[in-house]
Amino acid sequence: MTSRLVVLGSCGAWPEPGRACSGFLLEHAGFRVVLDLGYGTLPGLLRLLGNTTASGVDAVIVTHRHPDHMVDVHGLFRARWFGERGGAAIPLYAAAGVWERLCEFEEDDTEPLHRVFEPHPLPAEEYSLGPFRLESRSLPHFVPNAGVRLSCEEFVLAYTGDTGPSPEITELAREADLLITEATDRQQREGVPAPDTAERLDLTSTEAGGVAREAGVGKLLLSHFWPGNDRSESRSAAAEAFPGEIVLAEEGLELALPRAMFPG
């Protein structure tokens, strides 16, 4: 198995035609971790796995309970439960409310969910999963949101989920090889309803670039683009703040992991 990060979906809020919402597959050292599984991400995940039963997922991380980040976790559950019952439960590291939301899809009987997933809370003390150390921090959003940092011998990856500006992001992403964060940029489009709070609970790409610079990350992967936005405009805005490499998320895009190309 090559070490790579694959983008399953790059849209925020709801998916554009032919695209999906937030989701990433991280593969390293024979271990597969899924980071978020929003609207429309499951087909891309199954294509990468090469099966219809979601066989081969070792762990799932969900940053928060908004459906553009987690609704296809229920699809993953169905693929396991109806497609290939009986395997070991998949550890599911998730922010408050994710598990409850999954349970709501299941009417009264949540036993099948417990057979497919083993829930663990985020944020939390460190976890060890496969080759990774998983650290997490609470970041500001409309609902509880856990930013995550996955470290192994070869690289460090940080992912914010959705977050407003916060010094916690800089700590989460400190000198990470790769930071995945949002370029929600609602301000690019006219007529997008303003959030019903004055509190800042999403990042613009300019802010994403600023965080990347402050944290000293190696590479910035911008994602969670508002549907219809001009993504090159988001890149330019981030580049004003961050001098390093900026990559725009795209369904199916694969990134070789930092340092993984230079073993030893």
Instruction: Return the closest-CA partner of residue 227 out of 186, 181, 180, 182.
Output: 186
Alpha helix locations (H) across 106-204?
111-116, 167-173
Of 36, 68, 135, 185, the one binding Zn ion (CB under 5 A) is 68
The window from 68-76, 86-94, 134-142, 147-155 that contacts Zn ion (CB under 5 A) reads: 68-76
Peptide bond into 123 cis (omega under 30): yes
Closer to Zn ion by Cβ: residue 28 or 66:
66
Phi, psi of 55 (to 5 degrees): -70, 135
> What six digits make up the tokens of 186?
């609602």
Q: Which of residues 110-169 bind Zn ion (CB under 5 A)?
A: 162
Alpha helix locations (H) across 36-110?
42-49, 67-83, 98-104
Closer to Zn ion by Cβ: residue 118 or 199:
199
> What six digits make up the tokens of 131?
């080759």
The window from 6-14, 149-157, 164-172, 231-239 that contacts Zn ion (CB under 5 A) reads: 6-14
In angstroms, the CA 63 to CA 102 distance is 14
Does residue 209 belong to the site contacting Zn ion (CB under 5 A)? no
In whole angstroms, the minimum distance from the beta carbon of 11 to Zn ion comes to: 9
In whole angstroms, the minimum distance from the beta carbon of 180 to Zn ion comes to: 13
Closer to Zn ion by Cβ: residue 165 or 258:
165
In angstroms, the CA 214 to CA 192 distance is 29
Closer to Zn ion by Cβ: residue 68 or 251:
68
In whole angstroms, the minimum distance from the beta carbon of 59 to Zn ion comes to: 21
Closer to Zn ion by Cβ: residue 145 or 170:
145
In whole angstroms, the minimum distance from the beta carbon of 12 to Zn ion comes to: 5
Closer to Zn ion by Cβ: residue 61 or 116:
61
Q: Which of residues 184-203 bind Zn ion (CB under 5 A)?
A: none
| Residue 161, phi-psi category: left (phi > 0), alpha (psi -120 to 50), beta (remainder) | left
Does residue 36 belong to the site contacting Zn ion (CB under 5 A)? no
DSSP label at 225? B
In angstroms, the CA 147 to CA 137 distance is 5
Does residue 12 belong to the site contacting Zn ion (CB under 5 A)? yes
- Helix pair angle (67-83, 42-49), 10° resolution: 50
Does residue 72 belong to the site contacting Zn ion (CB under 5 A)? no
In whole angstroms, the minimum distance from the beta carbon of 60 to Zn ion comes to: 17
Site of interaction with Zn ion (CB under 5 A): 12, 68, 162
